[in-house]
Chains A and B, each alone.
Chain A
Amino acid sequence: MDRSGRLAWVPHLALLIGIAITAFPIYVCFIASTQTTTEILAAPMSLLPGGHFFENYGEALTKGTALTTGVPVARFLLNSLIMALVIAVGKIAISLISAYAIVFFRFPGRMICFWLIFVTLMLPVEVRIMPTFEVVANLGLIDSYVGLTVPLIASATATLLFRQFFLTLPDELIEAARLDGAGPLRFFKDVVLPLSSTNIAALFVILFVYGWNQYLWPLLVTNSASMTTIVIGIRTMIGGGDAPTPWNLVMATTVLAMLPPLAVVVLMQRWFVKGLVDSEK
């Protein structure tokens, strides 16, 4: 191996260039969020932080902008948080129990259930936009948290991951549980759930990011600005030709929108990387 030190700096330099390109858009966004609109429009804007950090973030969080009809960004953040958490926790919960039923029981219709769940892999929201919207509208779920989250909760990926993991558990575990007189619910709570904790943590990261970053779905099922998510909110802040875009507030909102999923990924990266690579196998 070329660890002789002579050219050891080459990969480092190349990686630093890669990271610089990766981080540059995020850096510029942060810098712009600390300046005034006038400073940003100076063309070119300065690449050093301005002195309006608290002002911009305060204004965005509490007042919003004219184009969001005065709905504060704090409200968008709350909606996104509810959406991401309900989707992540809900998907994990229903996938855990359905995978448990499919693996640890034998019942008529077991394979039909498995295939019904499996086939949904091939039906992402994006290919059934109009009809799904019709269904949600007929159920009166437009502009509600239920409409925003429940249709996205069914997930073949999570169920398949848990199924695969459950199949690797040794039979002796169940036999031992039976000897101890533990029923299926007790076995689930005391044995299966603790053993699944790593998988649950990994899926939580992936699904939180998935829920937070949803775009098409909230765009369809929310009409009022107060029910929409932060990702959609940013889009509405960038005006058409008529009103000037308050770039400093847009960029502050963008930083706020990136922060929660970024924090989850970075803080839980140990589980996340393993889970990501495993769940796609």
Chain B
Amino acid sequence: MQRRVVFDNKILPYLLVAPQLVITIVFFFWPAGEAVYFSLERQDAFGISTVFVGLDNFADVLSDPNYLHSLWVTAGFSVAVAALALVPALLLAVLADRVVRGASLYKTLLMMPYAVAPAIAGVLWLFLFAPGIGLVALLLKRLGVDWNYMLNGDQAMLLVVLAASWKQVSYNFLFFLAGLQSIPKSLIEAAAIDGAGATRRFWTIILPLLSPTTFFLIVVNIVYAFFDTFGVIHAVTGGGPAKATEILVYKVYDDGVVGLDLGGSSAQSVILMVIVVALTAIQFRYVERKVHY
């Protein structure tokens, strides 16, 4: 795509793209290239000499039971976050689309968690679930649940999933609401006149017409769970207990920054890049499909 009518100038366009290109090259391409380069070599214990090891780092990473465990944790975590962030958001959007009075107030209130940082969402939920202090933790104790997310891996996972999806519901809600409002009212009214009840209209008209939005949001939510939830994990569980909540991004950080394993951490970074490229490709394939929709 380009315009028919453009300006003629030999130098100006280069000056205009320069700031963005310089930053992109210095802080994106150089580090990404280094990640690939580091992932192919190995440092000795003192960081003095490095040797080229080919794909050994990748072989090590992919056969490391800790890494495979982290891969499973990430898969479970992102599916749970996506499901828990999408279903309530859709429900709330359908309801908000139906009410007339107070609609904008509901919308404003439901949009609030969007502004909250993932790490802060983690702190808010941690405060509710902190053993011995948190209101929900005390309630659980009274109900006879032996609650301590610092010792129990499943409970830790539940807590980070709750915090991560609570924040994301707002985002999904806004998209679903925009999607619902773009469905022609005449279509729904026609179905109603033909005698389709509210539930039937939802399953046969509204949900199919929302499918582009839904598909887009599934990809976005999985990307969110993979990458943006680092703050939740770091602030609430630190990957524990016993690596029960160690998602891939957290492991890259932990192995690289804390464990100082440059080669292994870079190999993991390269694998993550491949995952992002795949997810982005899926997203863009869908965008093309949507045009024909």
Contacts and interface: CB of A to CB of B under 8 A. Distances in A.
A40 B124 CA distance: 14
Contacts of B55: none
Given A22-B109, A129-B252, A120 B28 contact: yes
Interface string B221-252: 00000011011001100000000000001001
Interface of A: 1-3, 11-12, 14-15, 18-19, 22-26, 28-29, 32, 40-41, 43-45, 47, 94-95, 97-98, 100-107, 110, 113, 116-117, 120-124, 126-136, 150-151, 153-154, 159, 167, 171, 174-175, 183-185, 187, 209, 212-213, 215-216, 219-220, 231-232, 234-235, 238, 247, 250-251, 254, 257-258, 261-262, 264-266, 269, 273, 276-277, 280-281
Contacts of A277: 174-175, 178
Interface of B: 1-7, 9-10, 12-14, 16-17, 19-21, 23-35, 38, 88, 91-92, 95-96, 98-100, 102, 106, 108-121, 123-128, 132-133, 135, 138, 166, 169-171, 174-175, 178, 188-189, 192, 198, 216, 220, 227-228, 230-231, 234-235, 249, 252-253, 256-257, 262, 265-266, 269, 272-273, 276-277, 280, 287
A144 to B, nearest CB: 14
A134 B34 contact: yes
B145 to A, nearest CB: 16
B124 A231 contact: no
Contact of A22 (B169, B253, B266): B169
A29 B124 contact: yes
Contact of A43 (B27, B121, B132, B276): B132
B266 to A, nearest CB: 6
A29 B134 CA distance: 11
A1 B273 contact: no
Contacts of B10: 107
B23 A124 contact: no
Nearest to A281: B287
Contact of B32 (A2, A97, A123, A273): A123
Contacts, number: 289
B27 A151 contact: yes
Contact of B135 (A45, A117, A128): A45
Contacts of B23: 94, 150-151, 153-154
Contacts of B178: 273, 277
A143 B157 CA distance: 33
B115 A104 contact: no
B12 A121 contact: no
Nearest to A103: B3
Nearest to B116: A258
17 contacts: A11-B96, A15-B106, A22-B113, A22-B169, A25-B125, A43-B133, A47-B135, A126-B252, A127-B269, A128-B269, A129-B265, A130-B35, A135-B30, A151-B26, A215-B234, A261-B115, A266-B112
